Chain A
Amino acid sequence: MSWRKIPMKFSGTCIVCNEKIEINEMGLWAKGVGVKHEKCAQIKELQCIICASPAGCPQCEFQDNCDIEKVSQICICKKCSEEKDVFELYQKSTLKKFPLLNLNS
């Protein structure tokens, strides 16, 4: 199956989110399958807080038990999770990204 990026000639319903795709809007179309929004075609992934790259959700060992839409949106990629002092690295990166969290008790 190949998805073709096309400007919509007619309005349609996205097969992922069930929302309407308006005429002239860009959409992805596949013969016999339907249309979907460009944004719906992107595979959602959490972000690794340490290296700032995608966390590798499609290959994650917890994939079946992690609802990407519902969990807290920052995670750790496999490579970073195998570092020695990973929790300290996580804390440092969190403080760097969210300096407000760095409160002295």
Chain B
Amino acid sequence: MWSEKHRPQSISDMVGNEESRATIIEWFVKWKKGTKPILIVGPPGIGKTTIAYLTTKQFRYDMIGLNASDIRSKSRINEILSPVLGNVSVLGTPMIFVDEVDGIHGRGDYGGAEALIQILKEPTVPIVLAANSDLSDKMKSIKKVVKTIYFKPIPPRLLRVYLQNILKKENAKLSPGSLIKVIDKSHGDIRSMINLTQSLVTGFNPQTDQSFENINVENGIDAFFKAKSLDEARSVLYSMQIDPKQKIDAFYSSIITSNLDTQTLAKLLNVLSEADILYGKIMKTQNWRLLRYLNEILLALYKNDDRIRYTQYNLSWSLLNRIRWDGRKIKALSLVIAKKLHMSSSAFVTICFPYILFCIKNKKLEFELEETFGDIIEKEIELLK
């Protein structure tokens, strides 16, 4: 992924938020025991995590990274941080980084926020927090004990300079119209801008002036199986910004209706079941951080295979046809016969219909039916064989 490949190697390689970056460095330079921790607030993809990692590297700290799920309960937070805060010299020079600290709120918090605030009040090691927003009540109480530094979206023209530099390094080109659209679409989010650019440059979506706000599921699935390399397939997958369940379903219906040999089909369905299990786990625990692994699981489906094309329906066409057309006729027929037999049409279809067909076939029973039902009765009798 270009977003990983071109991740800044030093703080000066970053773009935008110059003053905030300088403030963070100044905080690290002047840090001593008891210095207020810092909270970096800003929208996703503008370098909050990156600067935390880079400062750790440049100031030679050993980073202990936590996320919202680690700080949900008091016992968990103490379990992780007590050794760090108590035995600093044994553990090198630790620095605590709590990412997405605003993710802990409401019913998900079992005393974690309070425990964290206690630690933030008397820091013995540098503590850096990052959050997308500081507006919740929990964040307001955290903000009282930290120094807040805001990271703002990057101005689009500056983003273009950054993007052009990446394109230059990749020896790639993007039409001026596409360049502007990529930047507009990213809304200051560098990560999404680079991902979108990579997906365009790798060629599954032609660089025209047409809108490419979202790669629809049809183009996405087709481009995935047409991709010439794993990297290309990955970028296609990441560009399909649709509901994860919809993504799994789309792959399922496309694979199940394709003409594949049993071995390949079994292998692909196995991958899909892994993805489905992950999705189930996410829904059950509401731990959406796990979503980041979904694309990597789905990537195992990649195979340059012409046989697989996007299909919306997860049944074969012949079966779908029968359900749609024959099903309608059977329903109409069942309404007529069920009335004659004084029973519900659903009970008739479920229990009696095959026996009635046998009776009609063996000429033991006669119904006065419209001629239009003749075809379907004959067809169903044929199927009884």
Contacts and interface: CB of A to CB of B under 8 A. Distances in A.
Interface string A43-66: 000100100000100001110111
Nearest to A95: B12
Nearest to A65: B184
B158 interface: yes
A105 B57 contact: yes
Interface string B18-51: 1111100110010000000000000000000000
Contacts of A101: 11-12, 18, 21-22, 25
A55 B157 contact: yes
B156 to A, nearest CB: 4
A90 B156 contact: no
Main secondary structure on chain A at its contact with chain B? loop
Contact of A71 (B20, B58, B153): B153
Main secondary structure on chain B at its contact with chain A? helix
A71 B18 contact: no
Nearest to B180: A61
Given A66-B155, A87-B162, A103 B17 contact: no
B29 A70 contact: no
B94 interface: no
Contacts of B183: 62, 65
Contacts of B13: 91
A98 B20 CA distance: 10
A103 B15 contact: no
Nearest to A99: B22
B157 A100 contact: no
Contacts of A74: 16, 18-19, 155, 158
Given A71-B188, A94-B18, A103 B158 contact: no
Interface of B: 9-13, 15-22, 25-26, 29, 54, 57-58, 151-158, 160-162, 164-165, 180, 183-184, 187-188
24 contacts: A49-B18, A60-B157, A64-B184, A66-B155, A66-B156, A66-B157, A71-B153, A72-B18, A72-B20, A72-B151, A72-B152, A72-B154, A74-B155, A75-B158, A81-B157, A81-B160, A86-B161, A87-B161, A91-B12, A95-B12, A101-B11, A102-B12, A103-B25, A104-B58
